[in-house]
Amino acid sequence: MFLVDDILLSPMKGLLYICKQIHKAAEDDFLNEGNVSAQLSELYMMLDTGMITEEVFNKKESELLNRLEQIEEYKKKHFESMNEENIENDEDGEVKVYPKRKNNSKRRNIQQQRH
């Protein structure tokens, strides 16, 4: 019976996987502050060279700054639920985020023994 269920549900599982990948790609694109910063730099250069007017510059700059604020708010809201115990800095200064675990006592004991 389970084999029949798997065969019948496999197209739905494939579609769900594709939807998750599209969502992840869209979220990554939305949260990319580098693109917005690059657009701001390009906008400043266009103003300096006289390619755009001050009026157009102010409008586009406010749009890009609002976008940066949206990204920051989204990140705060999305990562707010994470516990600080799950966020660590490694030796290179990179931030590592670990999924929440039910029993963190073993992990803490190992970390305390290392230090």
Range of the domain at 95: 86-115
Domain count of the fold of the chain: 2
Can you tell me which residue has the tokens 């305390």? Answer: 112
What is the reported pLDDT for 33? 85
Tell me the pLDDT band of 83, cut-offs 50, 70 and 90. very low
Q: In the predicted model, what is the mean pLDDT of residues 73-86?
A: 68
Closest to 54 (Cα-Cα) out of 40, 39, 43 = 43
State whether 31 and 73 are in the same domain: yes
55 pLDDT higher than 90:
yes
State whether 97 and 59 are in the same domain: no
State whether 21 and 68 are in the same domain: yes
State whether 78 and 91 are in the same domain: no
What is the reported pLDDT for 29? 84
State whether 40 and 74 are in the same domain: yes
State whether 49 and 68 are in the same domain: yes
Closest to 10 (Cα-Cα) out of 72, 94, 2 = 2
pLDDT winner (highest mean) among 50-59, 71-80, 99-108: 50-59
Can you tell me which residue has the tokens 């502050």? Answer: 33
State whether 47 and 92 are in the same domain: no
Task: Mention every residue, 6+ apart, whose C-beta is less than 8 A from residue 14.
Answer: none
Question: What's CA 7's distance to the chain center, in Å?
Answer: 34
Average of per-residue pLDDT values in the chain: 77
